[in-house]
Structure 1
């Protein structure tokens, strides 16, 4: 599959009211099946379930983007086309609550006990908790083939083994999605680019907090277009993986 010309470029998913900017290049990505993986950050209840602790600020955007369904489509496309799936989760253990300083959103996550677990070796009350996978994702993630990395602790993969796991599998192309857009997804994008990966972001398989005066999704979409090789929809990913 060759890279698309500007005239053939697929439609990008944008935040509310945003128009495509033809002045920004779209390098595109020619997928190589032996070198590409799907990477999803934080497909967990605290972000994606109406019972999750962040639903009050991310729920509307998750709903508008059909984020839950579109992440599920990525999982199905990955498994159906024998493309490796990597999950970069977020867990907090009791020692993490003893940090002496945090950034703004770190402080919030600690305060609302987001992604909390007793410790790395203890799954007490894990099933169905905010740290657990969304129930419909479990057949894809818990199949014994999906690579589940160690947890990232702030937003990016610098503190986990995602890059190592990708490199050890010969992966240098990443289709990136998950939660949340302007935090973990964008931080993973930036670090993967710095590490020499080609990265496409799936714009409708992510979402972010939207609060008065601040739109995390709109901010992320701007930076995705400035940084990534391209921004695709879940439908485009499904079609491209099926064509490999």
Structure 2
């Protein structure tokens, strides 16, 4: 028996309504009308990822501090990232760093987006070369000093550098998969650029992703608030969004199960 187009449409609506109803007990709508799928930490499958924990973003001497510093201070970003590092390390959770470096040859690019052009112009994340650390110590590309004991402990995985904003240009996904990681907690800089780009790509690659909302920050310019833009997209796209206190508590509680 041939089913009419109208009947097929009504059937699709009924199936869709049933799917939504089945979802509701697991992910009830929040005040903003969106469901919250949630994020469960699973030992051996969950990792902390910190994007760009570098001086150019997080030090008052960094070249981007003039536009991100106010938001970094308002969010307590530096201290919150430190708390996440400490919780992950004390619980044995794997930690990954996705850094941003530019080498002299990168300045030969013939076209760039607006912020790529700005970063090259101001020398952000510049290094002398791929195979040298000359001039690296204390530079804008170096880690914020208070994070070094976490990152340089011989256990933290530092990926190859991403070159624009997302991990499509580095080996992060490979490193995660090789270690059996399927769930990623993201913090770091900057919220609407590298942090958001990593969130998006990891979701596209089939990972579950939670973003720590106050362990990041962004540029705030006249008429443009990068942090507000990121918060909206985190909420709409990530599996879950939570603050540092909540995430640290969850990491520690999971470790003591």
TM-score in terms of structure 2 length = 0.87
Provide the secondary structure at the position in 2 that maps to 1:205. coil
Deviation track 1:165-192 (CA, whole Å, cap 9, x = no partner) reads 0000000000001000000000000000
1:204 aligns with 2:204: no
The answer for the alignment partner of 2:124 in structure 1 is: 114
Q: Deviations over 1:64-119 (max 9, x none)?
A: 00000000001001101000000000000001000000000000000000000011
* Shift >6 Å, 4+ stretches: 4-7
Matched, 1:31 2:41: yes
Please say if 1:76 is aligned against 2:86: yes
2:135 to 125, 137, 153: 125
Q: Look at both structures and tell me which one has the larger radius of gyration over its CA atoms.
A: 2
- Does residue 66 of structure 1 match 2:76? yes
Task: Give the number of the structure with larger relative contact order, counting CA–CA contacts within 8 Å between residues 6 or more apart.
Answer: 1
The one of 107, 113, 119 aligned to 1:103? 113
Q: Does the residue aligned with 1:201 lie in a helix, a strand or coil?
A: strand
2:181 pairs with 1:171? yes
Counterpart-to-counterpart distance in 2, 1:139 and 1:93: 25
1:57 counterpart residue number: 67
CA RMSD of aligned residues (A): 1.5
TM-score w.r.t. the length of structure 1 is 0.92
**Structure 1: runs of 5+ lacking an equivalent:** 10-19
SS in 1 for 2:245: helix
CA distance in 2, matches of 1:229, 1:88: 20
The answer to whether structure 1 residue 136 and structure 2 residue 140 are counterparts is no
**Cα drift, residue 6 of structure 1:** 6.9
| Map of 1:162 onto structure 2 | 172
- Partners of 1:125 and 1:34 in 2: CA distance: 37
Aligned counterpart, 2:202:
192
1:17: which partner in 2? none
How many residue pairs are counted as aligned between the two chains? Answer: 230
Q: Secondary structure at the match of 1:33?
A: coil
CA distance in 2, matches of 1:192, 1:149: 15
Following the alignment from structure 2 to structure 1, what is the Cα–Cα distance between the partners of residues 32 and 140?
Answer: 40
After superposition, the Cα gap between the structure-2 partners of 1:241 and 1:195, relative to the gap in structure 1 and judged at 3 Å, is same
Instruction: Say if 2:50 and 2:97, in contact at 8 Å, map to a contact too.
Output: yes
Distance 1:128 1:232, change over 3 A: same
Larger helix proportion of the pair: 2
